[in-house]
Structure 1
Amino acid sequence: MRILNICAYTWAIGGPARIIYDHTNEVLAQGHQVDILSPMTPGEKMYPVPEGARLIECKRTTPISNFYREFSIEMYDYLKKHINEYDIIHMHGIWHFGSLAPFLIPHKAALVITIHGLLDKWAVAHSKWKKDLVTLLYQKRLLGKADLIQINNRDEEEDVIRYLGYRPANMVIVPNGMKVSEYINLPEKGIFRKKNGIGPSQQMILFMGRLNIKKGLDLLLPAFQQIHEKLPNAALILAGPDDGYLSETEEFIKKNNLSKKIKLVGMLTDTVKKEALSDADLFVLPSYSEGFSIAVLEAMTSKVPALVSDRVGFGDYIKKYNAAYLTPLTSAGVADGLLKILQDKNYADELRKQAFTMVTDNFDIKVVANQLLEEYKKIKKM
C-alpha cells in the first residue's frame, strides 16, 4: 500500500509525530510505502524520518495559519497534484487545515482520521468559538465522510458519539503503540542529574510535555510546593517547550523561591530524554486532556513509577493493571500521590512492575501496527 500521513511532524507537536515514526518503521518493514506531509513554520525542528520513508515539508501560509492551524497553500497544491498516488491518506487530528484539505480534492484514496483526543470536553471547550465555527462549516460532515475514524479507547468513543450525536459505522478502536525495545536498555544512571545539578540523594520528579495548562501544571506546581516542605530533597524537572504556560510557571517559581528545586530544561529529545528517564524517581502528568499519551508510555516502558490523571488516554488499562497512581484533578490529590510514591518504595516498585506488564501486553508497536494495517486493507479502494 501507498500511505500518506498528514501531520505537523515536529518535535514540538509531541505524541503524534512519535506515533507516526514508530508505526512507519513497522509498515516499511512489511513492504509498504510511506510519505509524511508536514506543514511547518521556519525554524521548527522536524522529527526524525524513518529510513525508507519520505518527508514532504510545506510552509504554512501566514497570516491565515496564525488563526487557522496549519493552513498551507503548498500542502493543498501537493495534494492536488499527487493525491491519487496514494491508497491511504491518514490525517492526524482535527480542527486544522490538514484534516480538511484531502476532502476538497477529487480522489480515489481511502481517508483515515485519528482523533488524538481532540473531542474530549476539555479540548472542545478550549478556543470554543473557533471550534464552533469549524463545526458549523464542515467538521461534523467530514467525520461522517471519512472511510475510517481511528480512536484509541472507550473514552474517545464516547467523545465522538457526544459530538456527532450518533455512533458512526466507520469508527474503530486501535490504540497507539510503543517500540518497547528502545526503552529496555537506558543510558547509565547519573548522566542527566550531573548535567542539571541534581544530587544522587535527591528525589527527581520528571514532567515531560508541552508547557500548556491542559497538562495540569496549575495543579502540579502548587502540589510540589506542598510536598517540598515534607521532602526537601525533592526536585521537579519540567521538560518541554513553551505552549502558553511558561510565563505563569516562571512567575510561580520566582514567587515561591523554588528556583533551586524546580528546573525548566526545555524539550528533551533522543538520548537526553532517555537519560532523564533513567534518572527519574517518578514521572508525573496530571493532564486534563490527552488523546493517548506517548510520554506516559515511555515512562512506563522505562520502569519509572507514574502519577497521572485518568485522562491520559488509557485510564481503563491503568485501572485494570493498577499501573499508576491515578490522581484526582486537584492540587491536594497530586500532592498525595507524589508523597505516596516517593515515601513508599514497595508501592513504587509495584507500579513499575505493573506498568511494564501493561505496556508489553497491550501496546507493543508490532501488535498495534498490524491492527491498523488490517483496518487499512478493509477500506482500500484501488
Structure 2
Amino acid sequence: MRILNICAYTWAIGGPARIIYDHTTEVLAQGHEVDILSPMTPGEKSYTVPAGARLIECKRTTPISNFYREFSVEMYRYLKQHIHEYDVVHMHGIWHFGALAPFLIKNNAVKVITIHGLLDKWAVAHSKWKKQIVTILYQKRLLGKADLIQINNTDEEEDVIRYLGYRPKNMVIVPNGMKLSDYENLPPKGIFRQKHQIGAEQQLILFMGRLNIKKGLDLLLPAFKKVSEVLPNAVLILAGPDDGYQAETEDFIQKNNLGDRVKLVGLLTDTNKKEAFSDADLFVLPSYSEGFSIAVLEAMTCKIPTVVSDRVGFGDYIKKHNAAFLTTLNSEGVAEGILKILQDKSYAADIVNRAYKMVVENFDIKVVANQLLEEYKKVKKIG
C-alpha cells in the first residue's frame, strides 16, 4: 500500500507531526510505502523523517496563505501530477488547503481525514467568520465525501455530528498512539536544570506547547502566581514557539515580578525535549481545545504527574483510569492541581502509575497503527 500524508510537518505544529512520525515508523516496518506532503514557510524546521519515508516540501504561496492556511500552488501541482500513484491520501486537520486540494483532482485514492479536534466548540468559534465561509463553500460537503473520517474519542464524535447535523457512516474512532520505546531511556537528570539555572531543590513545573491562548495560558499564569506564593521554590518552564500569546505572557510576567520564576525557553526538540521531561516534577496543560495532545501522552509515558483539562483529546480515558488531576477551566482549579501534586507525593505517585498503565494498554503505536491500516483496507479492499 502506498500512503500520502498531508500535513504541515514541522516541529512548531507539534502533535500531528509526531503522530505521523510514529504511525509511519510502524507502517514502514510492515512493508508499506509512505510519503509526507508538507506546506512550508521559509525558516520553518521540518520534523524528523522516519527512515524509509519521503518528505516532499512545498512552499506556501503568499500572501494568500496568510488568509487561507497552508495555501500552496506547489502542493496542488504535485498532487495534480502524482496523486494517482497513491492508494491512500490521508489529510490531517481541516480548515486548510491541504484538506481541500485532493478533492479538486480526479483520483481513485482512499481519501481519509483526521479531525485533530478542530470541530470542538472552542476551535470552531476561533476565527469564526473564516470558518463559516469555508463551511458554506465546501467543508461540510467534503467531510461527507471522504472515504474515512478518523476521530480519536467520543467527544470528537459529538463534535462531528453537531457540525454536520448527522452521524456520517464513514466515521470511525481510532485513537492516536505512541512509540513507547522512544521514552524508555531518558537523559540523566540535571542536564536541563543546569542549562537553565534551575536548582535541584526547585520544583520544576513544565508546560510544553505552542504559546497560544487555546492552551490555557491565561489560566496557567495566574494559577502559577498563586502557587508561587505558597511554594517559593517552584519554577514554571514554558517550552514552545510563539503562536500569538507570547507578548501577553511576557507582559504578565513583568507586571507580576515573576521574571525569576517563569522561564520561556522556546521550542524544544529531540534530546532537549527529553532532557526537560527527565527533570520535570509536574506537567501542566489546562487546554481549552486539543485534538489529541501528544505532549500529555509523552509526559505520562515519561512517568511525570500531570495537571490537564478534559479537553486534551483523551479525557474520557483519563477519567476512567483516574490518570491525572483533571482541572476545571479556571485558574483556581489549575492552582489546586499543581499544589496537590507537588505537596502530596503519594497522590502524585498513584496518578503516575495509573497514567503509565493507561498509556501501555491503550496507546501503544503497534496496536493503534494496525487499527488504522485495517480501516484503510476496509474502504476499498486495498492492500
TM interval, short-chain normalised: over 0.9
Structure 1 counterpart of 2:199, one-letter code: G
Distance 2:17 2:224 in 1: 30
Match of 1:316 in 2: 316
- Taking the TM superposition and a 5 Å limit, the aligned residue runs for 1:21-60 are 21-60=21-60
4+ residue runs over 4 A deviation: none
Give per-residue Cα distances to partners, 1:122-162, cap 9 Å, x unaligned: 00000000000000000000000000000000000000000
Do the aligned partners of 1:281 and 1:304 also contact (CA within 8 Å) in 2? Answer: yes
Match of 1:77 in 2: 77
Match of 1:202 in 2: 202
Aligned to 2:230, the other structure's residue is in SS state coil
Distance 1:37 1:70 in 2: 12
Aligned to 1:284, the other structure's residue is in SS state strand
Structure 2 counterpart of 1:375, one-letter code: E
Identity %, equivalent residues? 81
- Taking the TM superposition and a 5 Å limit, the aligned residue runs for 1:1-382 are 1-380=1-380
Aligned to 1:377, the other structure's residue is in SS state helix
Measured after TM superposition, the shift of residue 20 of structure 1 is 0.3
Measured after TM superposition, the shift of residue 381 of structure 1 is 6.2
Structure 2 counterpart of 1:371, one-letter code: Q
Distance 2:80 2:185 in 1: 45
- Structure 1 pair 111–381 and aligned structure 2 pair: CA distance change class (3 A): farther
- TM-score (normalised: structure 1): 0.99
Measured after TM superposition, the shift of residue 379 of structure 1 is 1.4
Structure 2 counterpart of 1:358, one-letter code: M
Aligned to 1:229, the other structure's residue is in SS state helix
Aligned to 1:28, the other structure's residue is in SS state helix
Measured after TM superposition, the shift of residue 227 of structure 1 is 1.0
Aligned to 1:44, the other structure's residue is in SS state coil
Give per-residue Cα distances to partners, 1:242-281, cap 9 Å, x unaligned: 0000000000001111010000000110011011001000
Measured after TM superposition, the shift of residue 380 of structure 1 is 3.3
Aligned to 2:112, the other structure's residue is in SS state strand
Give per-residue Cα distances to partners, 1:317-376, cap 9 Å, x unaligned: 001111000000000110111110000000000011000000000000000000000001
Distance 1:84 1:380 in 2: 15
Do the aligned partners of 1:309 and 1:329 also contact (CA within 8 Å) in 2? Answer: yes
Structure 2 counterpart of 1:88, one-letter code: V
Distance 1:49 1:180 in 2: 18
Moved more, 215-224 or 177-186: 177-186
Aligned to 1:350, the other structure's residue is in SS state helix
Measured after TM superposition, the shift of residue 59 of structure 1 is 0.5
Do the aligned partners of 1:110 and 1:381 also contact (CA within 8 Å) in 2? Answer: no
- Paired positions, count: 382
Distance 1:200 1:329 in 2: 31
* Residue segments in structure 1 that go unaligned for 5+ positions in a row: none
Give per-residue Cα distances to partners, 1:4-46, cap 9 Å, x unaligned: 0000000000000000000000000000000000000011000
Do the aligned partners of 1:87 and 1:380 also contact (CA within 8 Å) in 2? Answer: no
- Structure 1 pair 131–328 and aligned structure 2 pair: CA distance change class (3 A): same
Distance 1:121 1:209 in 2: 20
Measured after TM superposition, the shift of residue 89 of structure 1 is 0.2
Distance 1:227 1:187 in 2: 28
- What is the aligned-residue RMSD (CA, Å)? 0.6
Aligned to 2:106, the other structure's residue is in SS state coil
- TM-score (normalised: structure 2): 0.99
Measured after TM superposition, the shift of residue 115 of structure 1 is 0.1
Measured after TM superposition, the shift of residue 173 of structure 1 is 0.3
Do the aligned partners of 1:180 and 1:301 also contact (CA within 8 Å) in 2? Answer: yes
